Structure 1
Amino acid sequence: MARRKAAYHLTAADGLSHHIREAAAVALEAIDDGRDHGSQSAVEDLMKAVQEQRHGT
Structure 2
Amino acid sequence: KLASRGDAGGIPDAFKVRMFLNGLNKELATLVAIQNPNTLDAAITKAKTVEAG
The TM-score normalised by the length of structure 1 is: 0.37
User: TM-score if structure 2 supplies the norm length?
Assistant: 0.39
Q: Rg bigger for which structure?
A: 2
Higher helix share: 1
